[in-house]
Amino acid sequence: MRTFNRRDFLGASSLALFTLAANHSAFAATSALTNGSKRIGIIGLDTSHAVAFAKAINGDPQKYRNFKIVAAYPYGTKTIPSATDRIPKYIEQVKTYGVEITKSIKELLDKVDYVMLETNDGRLHLEQAREVFKAKKPVFIDKPLAASYADAAEIFKLSEQYKVPFFSSSSLRYIDGMQDVIDGKHGKVLGADVYSPAHLDPSHPDFFWYGIHGVEMLFAAMGTGCKSVSRTHMPDTDIIVGVWEDGRIGTVRGTRNGKAAYGGTIYCEKATVQLGGFKGYNPLLDKIVEFFDTKVAPFDGKETLEICSFIETADVSKHSNGRSIELVK
């Protein structure tokens, strides 16, 4: 079995920042209110997530702890046509929810207390997150956290350096049935087979772009501890097999034809759980505003970093004729 090496893999101690609760009082003291609402800014209007979040939060602030999205910086990628083509339309849509459009991230950061980094292009997340961390604003970073493992690891380092908490997640972590699995209602998870669309874009390593939804579901169920990955790649389908250190096996099926669907089977001690349908963005939004209030991430950040290592290792396997490749630990 070949080893996949990466420099500067973060240890467990540096990942503790992901659940940072310290400095809570300092953040609270600087959180100004606008008309009784706590101010959120969005970076990136090149994804439908930004519009959906603005509509939900500003449409019912009381449901979302009196937070309000007050400003947005539209860019976002300037190089991926499927994303850039949306920006003019999304600018006009979020303005109808009372969101001010800013000319720079710096201008945005002067107007808000919390940030949703929604840029569709994961290659820009490190650069944009660095500005947010320097400004001491807690931030949710939408999927993918980054477009490479190295960038993801650097984001964690910056979070620790500036003592600013963040978390990152796909909304599919909160698919129907998953929370009972996470909570241990069905006993220990023995294995998992999940599926999601996995469309490709040349700007990103394969599963960083869209297949990350499936990988997020896998790690939500299985937790950390994957030791090796093998990938079978065909034009319309990928099968990624992960072997965990305790012998458990988890798989991701990524599809690029037929009906787009999300789901899976989780094999537990007490039950075999069929995951339900996609529940929309509200469950994720609940976690985001709770995080902004508490500065405590809803799950262990080691999962997010291992997701990035898993995806990058799967690309190595693809280019190694499907051989099993070890994740560095």
* pLDDT the model gives residue 121: 94
- Architecture of the domain whose range is 173-280+311-326: 2-Layer Sandwich (3.30)
Residue range(s) occupied by CATH 3.30.360.10 in the chain:
173-280+311-326
CA 235 to chain centre: 26
Q: What pLDDT sits at residue 280?
A: 86
DSSP assigned state of 99: P
pLDDT digits (tens, 9 = 90+) for 79-100: 898 889 999 999 999 999 999 9
Q: Which one, of 252, 148, 132, lies nearest residue 204 by Cα?
A: 148
pLDDT of residue 21: 38
| 100-101/67-73 β-pairing | parallel
Instruction: Say how far residue 124 (Cα) sits from the centre of its chain.
Output: 14
Q: What is the pLDDT of residue 2?
A: 44
Q: What's the confidence (pLDDT) of residue 37?
A: 55
Q: What is the pLDDT of residue 12?
A: 38
For CATH 3.40.50.720, the residue range(s) in the chain are: 13-170+285-296
Strands 263-268 and 189-197: antiparallel
For the chain, which residues score pLDDT lower than 50? 1-36
pLDDT at 328: 73
CATH class as words, domain 13-170+285-296: alpha beta
**Half-sphere exposure at residue 130, Cβ-oriented, CA atoms within 13 angstroms:** 9
Residues 54 and 62 sit within 8 Å (Cβ to Cβ): no
For residue 142, list its beta bridge partners: 169
Q: Which two tokens stand for residue 255?
A: 């599809």
CA distance 26 to 46: 32
What is the Cα–Cα distance from 23 to 37, expressed in whole angstroms?
Answer: 21
Structure tokens, 289: 């505003």
